[in-house]
């Protein structure tokens, strides 16, 4: 019979800096062998910085989202780092907890191990987080499922893993988010960045689940997984505005899949065929971009494709201003999603230094000869 994977509780990174700063280490509820593979990542753990003094505050969230929430304490621009932190706990998404009385014993054991290894401050921070499952599941598990954010696959385990944070886990959900969370493996941190300009005093929202879905699907999923009825701006629309929003989101999702299969070949086909209208590609790409911005549904698959098309097509049309504008916008959003501009600042700095530059004119010259 196959051996069941063994779960252990362990500190990551190693305990050395713990005495100086409790916030530097994470408790891993991991399968045996994972910790060694994580520690073997080249450069692990890399250092990280977070804004000091902080640019956010945790306070009562108000009517639209229950309990506490995170608020900006300064004006923030697209791509600005709001907070970077090591999680309190990481764990595989699917924990092989046994059912029945054995399951209760296993939870009690993990709870004890967590409290023992986390120390009082981090334990208090963990158990102060919200638990939307009440007493229907053991508390450690309820808090984990209410607050965990994705960290993808960690070395040594094929399935998805999750992380619970002291600060980032306080961010409420909106189907029109103004911030985005991302995970950085080498520094073992979660990062929160602005997805649009956020004014001082405004609440910061991320999205918990895919939001390129009609409202009914989003609300069902939110109720199922997080036990609340979303009352965000998009969910509060009525009549034709609600139908329009549903339609736009459905089309954005469909387009994201369609654009995945496209390559530069169709940009080249347009650029080198002067009989096709000049604005054929840019009109379509600007429509998708405006819809995404209108819904604040920045599909991270579609967005790079759209910006890449816009910059190539406007370079082919020799519109320096437009290339610069879209490359700057792409740099800010790419930074928001990944922490890195993805090379877009270089495109913005030299719009003519681009193999697509002037392709339409050259194609016309060839036809005219």
Ligand X SMILES: C[S@@+](CC[C@H](N)C(=O)[O-])C[C@H]1O[C@@H](n2cnc3c(N)ncnc32)[C@H](O)[C@@H]1O
Binding site for ligand X (CB under 6 A): 61, 65-69, 129-130, 132, 146-147, 169-170, 172-174, 226-228, 230-232
CB of 138 to ligand X, least distance (A): 17
CB of 93 to ligand X, least distance (A): 16
- Smaller CB distance to ligand X: residue 171 or 347? 171
CB of 269 to ligand X, least distance (A): 44
- Three-class HEC string of the chain: CCCCCCEEEEEECCCHHHHCCHHHCEEEEEECCHHHHHHCCCCCCCCCCCCCCCCEEEEECCCCCCCEEEEECCCECCCCEEEEECCCEEEECCCCCCCHHHHHHHHHHHHHHHHHHHHHHHHHHHHHCCCCCCCCCCHHHHHHHHHCEEEEECCCCCCEEEEECCCHHHCEECCCCCEEEEEECCCCEEEEEECCCECCCCEEEECCCCCCCCHHHHHHHHHHHHCCCCCCCCCCCCHHHHHHHHHHHHHHHHHHHHHHCCCCHHHHHHHCCCCCCCCHHHHHHHHHHHHHHHHCCCCCCHHHHHHHHHHHHHHHCCCHHHHHHHHHHHHHHHHHHHCCCCCHHHHHHCCCCCCCCCHHHHHHHHHHC
- Smaller CB distance to ligand X: residue 37 or 231? 231
CB of 61 to ligand X, least distance (A): 6
Using CB positions, name the residue nearest to ligand X: 67
CB of 339 to ligand X, least distance (A): 22
- Cα–Cα distances (Å) from 334 to 8, 73, 296, 298, in that order, read 36, 23, 15, 11
- Smaller CB distance to ligand X: residue 147 or 308? 147
- Smaller CB distance to ligand X: residue 44 or 133? 133
- Smaller CB distance to ligand X: residue 235 or 256? 235
- Smaller CB distance to ligand X: residue 104 or 231? 231
- Smaller CB distance to ligand X: residue 146 or 250? 146
CB of 215 to ligand X, least distance (A): 13
CB of 148 to ligand X, least distance (A): 8
CB of 256 to ligand X, least distance (A): 24
- Smaller CB distance to ligand X: residue 65 or 310? 65
């Amino acid at each position: 019979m196959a051996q069941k994977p063994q779960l252990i509780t362990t500190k990551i990174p190693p305990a050395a800096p713990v005495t100086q700063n409790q916030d530097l280490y994470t408790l891993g509820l991991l399968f045996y062998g994972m910790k060694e593979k994580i520690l073997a990542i080249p450069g692990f753990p890399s250092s990280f910085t977070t804004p000091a003094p902080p640019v956010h505050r945790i306070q009562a969230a108000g009517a639209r989202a229950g309990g506490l929430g995170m608020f900006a304490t300064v004006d923030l621009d697209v791509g600005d780092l709001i907070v970077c932190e090591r999680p309190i706990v990481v764990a595989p998404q699917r924990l092989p907890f046994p059912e029945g009385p054995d399951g209760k014993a296993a939870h009690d054991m993990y709870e004890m191990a967590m409290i023992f290894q986390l120390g009082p401050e981090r334990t208090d921070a963990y158990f102060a987080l919200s638990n939307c499952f009440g007493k229907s599941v053991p508390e450690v598990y309820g808090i984990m499922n209410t607050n965990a954010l994705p960290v993808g696959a960690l070395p040594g385990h094929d399935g998805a893993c999750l992380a619970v944070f002291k600060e980032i886990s306080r961010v409420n959900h909106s189907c029109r988010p103004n911030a985005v969370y991302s995970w950085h493996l080498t520094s073992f941190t979660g990062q929160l960045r602005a997805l649009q300009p956020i004014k001082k005093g405004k609440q910061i929202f991320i999205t918990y689940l895919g939001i390129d879905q009609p409202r009914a699907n989003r609300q069902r999923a939110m109720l199922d997984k997080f036990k609340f009825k979303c009352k965000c701006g998009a969910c509060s629309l009525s009549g034709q505005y609600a139908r329009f929003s549903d339609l736009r989101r459905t089309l954005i999702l469909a387009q994201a899949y369609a654009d995945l299969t496209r390559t530069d070949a169709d940009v080249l086909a347009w650029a080198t065929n002067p009989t096709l209208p000049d604005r054929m590609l840019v009109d379509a790409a600007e429509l998708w971009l405006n819809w995404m911005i209108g819904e604040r549904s920045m599909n991270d698959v579609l967005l790079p494709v759209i910006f890449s098309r816009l910059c190539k097509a406007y370079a082919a049309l020799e519109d320096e201003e437009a290339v610069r504008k879209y490359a700057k916008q792409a740099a800010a959003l790419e930074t928001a999603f990944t922490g890195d501009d993805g090379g877009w600042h270089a495109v913005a700095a030299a719009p003519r230094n681009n193999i697509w530059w002037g392709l339409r004119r050259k194609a016309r010259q060839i036809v005219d000869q």
